[in-house]
Amino acid sequence: MSAARLVAQPRALVGESVRMDREDVIWLDPPGRRLLRWSPGDGRLSEVPLAHALWSLGQRPDGTWVGAGEDRFFAVDVHAGTLTPGPLAPLAPGCRFNDMTVDAQGGLWVGSMHRGLLHARGGLFFAASPDAEVVRVAEGLGVANGMAFVAGGACLLVVDTLSRTLLAYPRRGDDPSLDEPTVVTDFLTAPGKPDGMAVAPDGAVWVAMWGGSCILQLAANGAAERMVPIPAPHVGSLAFGNDGIAYVSTSRARLTEAMLADHPGSGGLFAVDTRAGVPAKAGAGDSGGVRAAAQYR
Rounded average pLDDT over 131-160: 96
For residue 221, the model assigns a pLDDT of 84
**pLDDT value at residue 243:** 87
Exposed/middle/buried for residue 227 (C-beta within 10 Å: 0-12, 13-18, 19+): buried
Average pLDDT estimate for 53-66:
98
Check pLDDT > 80 for residue 62: yes
Question: How, if at all, do strands 144-150 and 155-160 pair?
Answer: antiparallel
Is pLDDT above 60 for 165? Answer: yes
The pLDDT > 70 percentage for the chain reads 93
Tell which residue, 221, 126, 113, 223, has the closest CA to residue 171. Answer: 126
The pLDDT assigned to 285 comes to 44
HSE-CB for 169 with a 13 A CA cutoff: 25
Residue 276 clears pLDDT 80, i.e. is over it: no
Residues 102-106, mean pLDDT to the nearest whole number:
97
CB contact at 8 A, 228 and 277: yes
CA of 71: how far to CAs of 97, 112, 115, 244, in Å?
6, 9, 12, 34
Over residues 241-270, the pLDDT tens digits come to: 988 999 999 999 999 999 999 999 999 999
Contact 35, 78 (CB under 8 A): yes
pLDDT in tens, 82-95: 999 999 999 999 99
Domain at 237, CATH number: 2.120.10.30
Q: Which residues contact 95 (CB under 8 A, 6 or more apart)?
A: 112, 113, 114, 115, 121, 122, 123
Between 9 and 172, name the one with better pLDDT: 9
What confidence category does residue 13 fall into, taking pLDDT thresholds of 50, 70 and 90? very high
For residue 297, is pLDDT > 60?
A: no
Give me the mean pLDDT over the 107-113 stretch. 98
Question: Who wins on pLDDT, 243 or 155?
Answer: 155
Residue range 16-53, pLDDT digits in tens: 999 999 999 999 999 999 999 999 999 999 999 999 99
pLDDT of residue 218: 95
Q: What percent of the chain has pLDDT over 90?
A: 85
Range of the domain at 95: 4-296
Number of folded domains that form the chain: 1
pLDDT of residue 291: 33
The pLDDT of residue 120 is 84
Full-model pTM: 0.93
Under the banding of pLDDT at 50, 70 and 90, the label for residue 280 is confident
Q: Regarding beta strands 34-39 and 24-29, do their DSSP bridges make them parallel or antiparallel, or are they unpaired?
A: antiparallel
Contacts of residue 175, Cβ cutoff 8 Å, sequence gap at least 6: none
Query: In the structure, what pLDDT confidence band is assigned to residue 277 with cuts at 50, 70 and 90?
Result: low
